[in-house]
Structure 1
C-alpha cells in the first residue's frame, strides 16, 4: 500500500496541453451525447439552406443565389454553437454547481473556456462542411478552393463575438432561462441581419437598422469573401465585431466577479 501511495505521489503532473485537450475532449463527448444540442445545431442550418438556397426557385439578379445563401446560412450555422455552447451550457453548469466545482479544482481556469471555444469551432466547422457539400453537390456553387477556404476561416474567426455574447448570457441567467434568452436573440438577429432572406427584400427601415446586429457585419464579410458583396468596408466590419467582443467579454467578466 505504501508503495502504491508513494508511486502516485511521485507521478509527474500532466502537462498543461494534456489538461486543455482532455477538457475539450470530454466537453465534445458531452455535447455529442446531448442530441437536443447536437442534432439541431448540425441539421437546422442545412435544412434551411437546402430549402431556401436549393429547392425553392428564385433569382437574386446578378448574384448567385446558392453561393449568396451559402455565405449567409454559413453565418447562421456558426453562431449557433457559439451562442448555445457558451450561453446555455455555461448557465446550466453554473446553476448545477459544476462551475463552482471546477473553480476549486486544480484545473486551470482557461481549460474550461478553451474547451467551450474548441468544441464550438468543431461544431461550426461540421456545419460549414455540411452546407458546402449541399451547395457544391446540388446548388452549383461556384467557389474556388482558395476562396472557399478563406470563407471558412472568416466564418470560424467570426464566431468570437458570439462566443462572448453567449458567455455573457451564461453568466447572467439561469439554465432553463438561457435557452429562451438565446433563442430570443439568435432567431430575430438571423432574420433581421438578412441571413435567411436577403435584406434587399426587406423594407428600407429594416435594411438601415441591420447595422446594429453583429451577425450582419459578419455576413457582409462572408459575402465579400464569397464574391457576392463588397469588400470596401471590410476593416469597418472587423472593428465592429471586435468592439462587440470587448463589450460582451467585459460585461461577462463583471458579472462573473460578483
Structure 2
C-alpha cells in the first residue's frame, strides 16, 4: 500500500527530523527534566491511590508517554501545516503517492524519534530515582509506549491539515496539554472529581497511560484500553488520509 515512494518519503522525513537539533534536544531531554522536577517532590514509598505502583514508577511511565506524545504530536502538526503553505504537499499530490501512503510515512518517521525519548526517561528514572522493574517489564514498557505513540502521530497529521500555519501551534498546544492533563499523564486520574474521571476514561491519553501502568504493576494491559487506542488510531489516521486527499491548498 505504501510502496517505494512512501519508503523514500519516510527516509526523507527521518533525515529532516534528525537534522533538526533543537527539536531533537527538546523532544529527548524535556520529558526527563519534567520527570525529575515532578518526582523530586515524592519519596520512593508513595504509591498511586488504589494501587501498589510507586509514584516514582508512575511518573516514569507517564513522562515517557508524555515525551513520546510531544515528539510525534508537536512535530507532525506544525511541520505539515508549514508544508501545506509552501506547496510541498500539493507537489506530492501530483505523484502516485496515495493519501494512506503519505499519512503512514508521516506516522512512521515521527515514531522513530520517540524511542530515544522513552529510553532517556527510563535511564534517568533507574539511575537517579532507583526505579526497578523486571527485564520483561522494561521491554514491554518500551514496546507499548512506542506503539501507543502512533495514535498521536496520526492525530498530529490530522491537525496539520485542519489548521493553518499561524493557528496550528496554539491549537496543538491546547490539545496537547488538555489530553496530557485530563488523560492522567501529569497526575493520577484517581485524584480527579468523579465527573472528570468519567470523561477521562474515554480519552486516548488515559488508555495510553493505563497500558503502561498495568505493565508496571506486573499485569497485562486491559483489553478495553487496547481497543480504545486501536479505535483512535483508525479514526485519526483515516481522517488524516481523507484530509490529504481533499486538500486543495495552492502553492
Match among 29, 36, 42 for residue 28 of structure 2: 42
In 2: Cα distance, 1:126 partner to 1:120 partner: 12
Residues 106, 157 of structure 2: 8 Å contact kept: no
1:251 to partner: Cα distance: 2.5
Match among 186, 202, 223 for residue 176 of structure 2: 186
1:109 to partner: Cα distance: 6.3
Match among 186, 191, 216 for residue 226 of structure 1: 216
Equivalent positions of 1:5-84 (< 5 A) are 20-53=6-39, 55-58=40-43, 59-60=46-47, 62-84=52-74
Structure 2 partner of 1:116: 106
Structure 2 gap ranges (5+): 247-251
Residues 87, 167 of structure 1: 8 Å contact kept: yes
Equivalent positions of 1:138-153 (< 5 A) are 138-153=128-143
Instruction: Flag the 1:146–1:195 CA change in 2: closer, same or farther, 3 A.
Output: same
| TM score, norm. by length of structure 1 | 0.82
Q: Does 1:165 align with 2:151?
A: no
In 2: Cα distance, 1:98 partner to 1:164 partner: 19
Structure 1 partner of 2:225: 237
In 1: Cα distance, 2:215 partner to 2:200 partner: 20
> Which structure's CA Rg is the greater one?
1
In 1: Cα distance, 2:8 partner to 2:158 partner: 25
Instruction: Flag the 1:106–1:165 CA change in 2: closer, same or farther, 3 A.
Output: closer
Structure 1 partner of 2:249: none
Structure 1 gap ranges (5+): 1-15
**RMSD over aligned Cα, in angstroms?**
2.3
Structure 2 partner of 1:93: 83
